Structure 1
Amino acid sequence: MITADRLHSVQEYYFSKKLREVRGLINQGKPIINMGIGSPDLPPSKEAVSTLQNVLEDNKAHQYQSYQGLPELREAMANFYASRFKVHVDANTELLPLMGSKEGIMHISLAFLNVGDAVLIPNPGYPTYSSVTNLIGAKPIMYDLTAENGWLPNIKALEKTDLSKVKLMWISYPNMPTGAKIDRAKMEELVAFAEAKDLLIVNDNPYSFVLNDNPTSILQIEGAKKVALELNSLSKTFNMAGWRVGMVLGSSEHITAVLKVKSNMDSGMFYGIQKGAITALESGGDWFEKLDEVYRKRRKLMFLLVDKLDATYDKDAAGMFIWAKLPEGSKSSEAFIDELLYSKDIFIAPGTIFGSNGEGYIRFSLCVEEEKIKEAIERFK
């Protein structure tokens, strides 16, 4: 059977392919330390897990669920945004729970893009933005993020670009993969840009509560709901990556459009997961402080490891990664990480998987136990 033409526009995800190689080395007995993946290794709260366990005997737990999620889940998500971001949304019309925010990237693209439309995609940025755009039959237009500009969009440069077919613009702040933060002035500039160019901005925002004392949301800007959607997730904030719980927020018109797609693609999130998510969302400030305490200790150690490579980095970046610039004269990013993998049994991510502007950079995940980071440092002595 001949596969669909759209499959020619995408490749297997880098980590899917590379991790097979890493697993092969592990099977050969190599003591690989994996610092490449941002999959939280810490557990969810005991309360969230207990909630999930306790509802399994409920008759409702095993039925089909609403495409829009439980009303109490939507309320918990809306309350979370109100308390943590000072953003107020109608839980019934301006918010939609998702099976992870990655699902939302596809749903939003299907809801707003036609074949031949164009999409502004950050370089470097999350590879899924490009792959989904290609699968839809739209055209990716990469826009540059650079260290010189703080890894923020250069609006003046964008205004000189042919935007006649652009309908969507993807941003992600705190930024993935660089950890760069965004301030209110830049968000206001982006909202004004979207209004002037009649396009929809989508902020992918799963890293706001990891090593970040000033969480931001594009929806904090007056009038943003008219031109913006925001994706968020419980994966990083509450160590629930495998639970697949996310959300999209915005105007009722935009949410209705996404719901039309979603309701034709799944049959609702498992009841127990929704109940556990509600408990997690109601966590107090202690949860975030304890989470950051762990990541701060790990980051301090990871800085020592990065120093061993003579790479440079921003000590004030947010999120669960360290984005580091290789020293002058280094090999390419991919050659560098391969040498590290085979000479030191340490796997890190090359910056190039996030775009051409990632050349010369490498990324370390903080989802690694302190003892493993110490072991990695010892391998350079």
Structure 2
Amino acid sequence: MIAQANRLNQVKEYYFSSKLREVRAMAAAGKDIINLGIGSPDLPPPPQVISALNEALVNNGAHQYQPYKGTADFREAIAEFYQNHYQVQLDPDKEILPLMGSKEGITHISMAFLNEGDEVLIPNPGYPTYSSVTELVGAKAVYYDLNAEGNWMPNLKDLAQKDLSKVKIMWVNYPNMPTGASGNDSLFEELVAFAKAHEILIVNDNPYSFILNDNPKSILKAKGAKEVVLELNSLSKSFNMAGWRIGMLCGSEKNLNTVLKVKTNMDSGMFYPLQAGAASALRLNGNWFSSQNEIYQQRKNKVLELAKALDCVPEKDQIGMFVWAKIPQGKTAEGFVDFLLNKYHIFTAPGFIFGSNGEDYIRFSLCATEENIERAIKRIEK
């Protein structure tokens, strides 16, 4: 038998990969599963985007290899998007690197900057991929606490008292997933100062800033941020294009060129029509987000009703496409999720998969119709 690589010894299969097999098996067996577990948008992309993709299919050269740094028009569209929505000026030739998905970008960044034994500051709770990729490249995950008492933001004063000499990267994620906490200018300025003081690369993962949020922000707007910050962004959530696998990384030319060394050995460029469609999406005006948020707000209202019926207490002032809620006292997140799945055929995400500080929480996705959420409420009320 061929043994697996040692790097996999500390890495588990992604929770949703294994759990959704169970959910699909139940559905195949005739169970009517209502899936409120994952953030895979069920709404269609903008119609202009589909038109742009179709038109690009017949362009000369559309089916050939494309530039590793993406087309000039796509990078220009990203720059326009950042200027229009975040008031951040980016050089499209030097400070933007298109990615085939921002999740994939987490691996690119980690491979580009981390050596074996380097340490990485990772939020608890936080996106599980930060931890798994850190382990895959042989670095060490060092967790920092986020909690309700601190409004789900890092205590940088406490972190500064620790030995940070081996820390190379700090992952942050605002608007936050899974908690829905929004970042603010003060936090971003403090993070930039922290990064400079301790020679740490801050990476902000920013795919949720337009969902149920009237004030989108980028950490790159903070003074001096580009020197010590990279920002990941994505079209998956904001434009309902998760399956297209289109993301972007923004920051200094020096840091992006470091990541490019990895990327050019991992892919051969993004399909041209995808880039044309993405550029079309990025150039839409704010009416697109308003129309989407009307739908998400109605869904959120229903999910809040569902949470109340389950005696769960949602966190206040959440943004993004999830509802993060505290489960009834005495329950465990895993047990509560399995109870809902097996008794009511409602699937939600247990907070423990995001870290130990999520043990007392579950996460509801808004990527389900009002009708299905209403059906879930009726099942509980019965």
Q: Which residue of 2 aligns with 1:281?
A: 282
Aligned residue identity for 1:49: I
Aligned residue identity for 1:292: N
Q: What is the DSSP-based 3-state SS (H/G/I as helix, E as strand, rest coil) of the residue aligned with 2:197? A: helix
Identity of aligned residues (%): 61
Aligned residue identity for 1:282: R
Q: Distance in 2 between matches of 1:74 and 1:27?
A: 43
Query: Displacement of 1:315 after TM fit?
Result: 4.2
On the 8 A contact 2:310/2:380 being kept in 1, the answer is no
Aligned residue identity for 1:181: S
Q: Which residue of 1 aligns with 2:344?
A: 344
Q: What is the DSSP-based 3-state SS (H/G/I as helix, E as strand, rest coil) of the residue aligned with 1:283? A: coil
Superposed CA deviations along residues 210-238 of structure 1, whole A, max 9, x for unmatched, are: 00111111101000111100000000010
Aligned residue identity for 1:198: E
Q: Distance in 2 between matches of 1:91 and 1:33?
A: 42
Give the 5 Å matches for 1:26-175.
26-175=27-176
Q: Distance in 2 between matches of 1:223 and 1:361?
A: 36
Q: Distance in 2 between matches of 1:166 and 1:51?
A: 43
Q: Distance in 2 between matches of 1:344 and 1:170?
A: 36
Q: Which residue of 1 aligns with 2:360?
A: 360
Aligned residue identity for 2:96: L
Superposed CA deviations along residues 271-308 of structure 1, whole A, max 9, x for unmatched, are: 00000001101111110100100000000111100000
Superposed CA deviations along residues 34-91 of structure 1, whole A, max 9, x for unmatched, are: 0000000000011100111122122311100100000000000011000000001100
On the 8 A contact 2:208/2:238 being kept in 1, the answer is yes
Aligned length: 380
Q: Distance in 2 between matches of 1:212 and 1:121?
A: 24
Q: What is the DSSP-based 3-state SS (H/G/I as helix, E as strand, rest coil) of the residue aligned with 1:318? A: coil
**How does the TM-score come out when normalised to structure 2?**
0.98
Q: Distance in 2 between matches of 1:325 and 1:77?
A: 37
Q: Distance in 1 between matches of 2:243 and 2:187?
A: 33
Aligned residue identity for 1:360: D
On the 8 A contact 2:315/2:326 being kept in 1, the answer is no
Q: What is the DSSP-based 3-state SS (H/G/I as helix, E as strand, rest coil) of the residue aligned with 2:213? A: coil
Aligned residue identity for 1:354: F
Q: Which residue of 2 aligns with 1:194?
A: 195
Q: Which residue of 2 aligns with 1:378?
A: 378
Aligned residue identity for 2:238: T
Superposed CA deviations along residues 224-261 of structure 1, whole A, max 9, x for unmatched, are: 11110000000001000000110000011001101111
On the 8 A contact 2:346/2:376 being kept in 1, the answer is yes
Q: Distance in 1 between matches of 2:135 and 2:99?
A: 22
Q: Which residue of 1 aligns with 2:206?
A: 205
Q: Which residue of 1 aligns with 2:301?
A: 300
Q: Which residue of 2 aligns with 1:12?
A: 13
**How does the TM-score come out when normalised to structure 1?**
0.99
Q: Distance in 2 between matches of 1:291 and 1:326?
A: 28
Aligned residue identity for 2:270: M
Q: Distance in 1 between matches of 2:84 and 2:287?
A: 15
Q: Distance in 2 between matches of 1:53 and 1:261?
A: 31
Q: Distance in 1 between matches of 2:86 and 2:359?
A: 34
Query: Displacement of 1:28 after TM fit?
Result: 1.0
After TM superposition, where is structure 1 displaced by more than 2 Å over at least 4 residues in a row?
none
Which segment is superposed worse, 50-59 or 17-26?
50-59
Query: Displacement of 1:264 after TM fit?
Result: 1.0
Superposed CA deviations along residues 84-104 of structure 1, whole A, max 9, x for unmatched, are: 000011000111000010111
Task: Structure 2: state its 5+ residue gaps.
Answer: none
Q: Distance in 2 between matches of 1:266 and 1:186?
A: 35
Aligned residue identity for 2:52: T
Q: Distance in 2 between matches of 1:326 and 1:96?
A: 40
On the 8 A contact 2:171/2:205 being kept in 1, the answer is yes
Q: Distance in 1 between matches of 2:184 and 2:92?
A: 26
Task: Structure 1: state its 5+ residue gaps.
Answer: none
Q: What is the DSSP-based 3-state SS (H/G/I as helix, E as strand, rest coil) of the residue aligned with 1:143? A: strand
Q: What is the DSSP-based 3-state SS (H/G/I as helix, E as strand, rest coil) of the residue aligned with 1:62? A: coil
Q: Distance in 2 between matches of 1:147 and 1:352?
A: 15
Q: Distance in 2 between matches of 1:269 and 1:373?
A: 36
Query: Displacement of 1:161 after TM fit?
Result: 1.7
Q: What is the DSSP-based 3-state SS (H/G/I as helix, E as strand, rest coil) of the residue aligned with 1:164? A: coil
Query: Displacement of 1:328 after TM fit?
Result: 2.0
Q: What is the DSSP-based 3-state SS (H/G/I as helix, E as strand, rest coil) of the residue aligned with 1:121? A: strand
Q: What is the DSSP-based 3-state SS (H/G/I as helix, E as strand, rest coil) of the residue aligned with 1:231? A: strand
Q: What is the DSSP-based 3-state SS (H/G/I as helix, E as strand, rest coil) of the residue aligned with 2:380? A: coil
On the 8 A contact 2:124/2:355 being kept in 1, the answer is yes
Q: What is the DSSP-based 3-state SS (H/G/I as helix, E as strand, rest coil) of the residue aligned with 1:380? A: helix
Q: Which residue of 2 aligns with 1:258?
A: 259
Aligned residue identity for 2:18: K
Query: Displacement of 1:195 after TM fit?
Result: 0.5
Q: What is the DSSP-based 3-state SS (H/G/I as helix, E as strand, rest coil) of the residue aligned with 2:266? A: coil
Aligned residue identity for 1:243: W
Q: What is the DSSP-based 3-state SS (H/G/I as helix, E as strand, rest coil) of the residue aligned with 2:204? A: strand
Q: Distance in 2 between matches of 1:102 and 1:293?
A: 27
Query: Displacement of 1:313 after TM fit?
Result: 1.2
